[in-house]
Amino acid sequence: MSGGAVAASAAASAAAAKKKREREQEEEELTKYNAEDLEGWEFKIVRAVTGKFKKPETLKKVCEEEAKAGWELLEKFDNSRLRFKRKIENRSQDKHLKTDPYRTQVGIGEGGLVILIISVIAILLLIVLALAGKF
């Protein structure tokens, strides 16, 4: 990998890490729970790094899939993050599910996206070098 590709990779990783920290901080600050709100409930955030939840049909499908495990949509942060809650007693039904009731990712993950970006940059770089007659 050339110096430019390495630099691009490092920049993409740093940007992704910074964005992740900012999202996590926002999630903590947006919704405050008191002890009564938490009693008997569990919460999770489902993420999609590509903004999949912008499409109403995708949002509906994810909510339907989560509902099979007893999860209820609590809030939509943005097109990439949804917060769900469910009664703790729903855990007893988890063994009957075909999907992971604790999934937190829909679609490609952050690591996969970084690898995809780096691969595209490397391929483009190879094409440029080939066209320039240096490869």
Q: Do 4 and 52 have their domain in common?
A: no
**Distance of alpha carbon 121 from its chain centroid, rounded?**
22
Residue 59: is its pLDDT beyond 90? yes
- pLDDT tens profile 10-57: 676 677 667 767 666 666 666 677 777 788 999 999 999 888 999 999
Read off φ and ψ for residue 97, nearest 5 degrees: -85, 150
Read off φ and ψ for residue 47, nearest 5 degrees: -115, 150
pLDDT averaged over the chain?
84
Distance between CA atoms of 3 and 25, rounded to whole angstroms?
33
| Domain region containing 74 | 31-104
Q: Do 46 and 84 have their domain in common?
A: yes
Q: Do 85 and 115 have their domain in common?
A: no
- The domain tally of the chain equals 2
End-to-end CA distance of the chain: 13
Is 64 within 8 Å of 121 (Cβ atoms)?
A: no
Distance between CA atoms of 84 and 66, rounded to whole angstroms?
8
Q: Do 25 and 36 have their domain in common?
A: no
